[in-house]
């Protein structure tokens, strides 16, 4: 299960699924739709700083899976 991955990203208390936007192109990343999860990447370092650093697959590829903000490696949201 992937619910643990949302820790820190979701401060509302309910460990539900949420919708984020790609930080680069503002595409809506819908965490409800399981089939799309594999297209979502995130930067754990930026997330831990409170930045919603989520990336769509196209942008993740564009930045070569490196966070353009802190240069750490992007992780696939769904592994
Ligand atoms: Zn994008
Ligand atoms: Zn980052």
Cα 3 to Cα 6, 40, 43: the distances in Å are: 6, 15, 17
Q: Calculate mean pLDDT across residues 52-59.
A: 94
The most distant pair of C-alpha atoms in the chain lies apart, rounded to whole Å, by 33
H or E stretch covering 45: helix 44-48
Rg, Å, the chain Cα set:
11
How far is ligand 2, taken at its centre, from the CA of residue 35, in Å?
24
How far is ligand 2, taken at its centre, from the CA of residue 41, in Å?
11
pLDDT at 12: 46
- Looking at the domain 16-76, which fold is it? Herpes Virus-1 (3.30.40)
Between residues 11 and 61, the one the model is more confident about: 61
How far is ligand 1, taken at its centre, from the CA of residue 4, in Å?
24
């Amino acid at each position: 299960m992937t619910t643990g991955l949302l820790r820190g990203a979701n401060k509302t208390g309910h460990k539900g699924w949420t919708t984020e936007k790609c930080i680069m192109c503002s595409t809506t990343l819908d965490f409800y739709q399981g089939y799309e999860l594999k297209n979502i990447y995130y930067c754990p370092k930026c997330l831990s700083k409170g930045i919603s650093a989520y990336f769509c697959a196209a942008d993740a590829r564009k930045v070569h899976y490196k966070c353009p903000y802190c240069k750490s490696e992007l992780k696939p949201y769904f592994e």
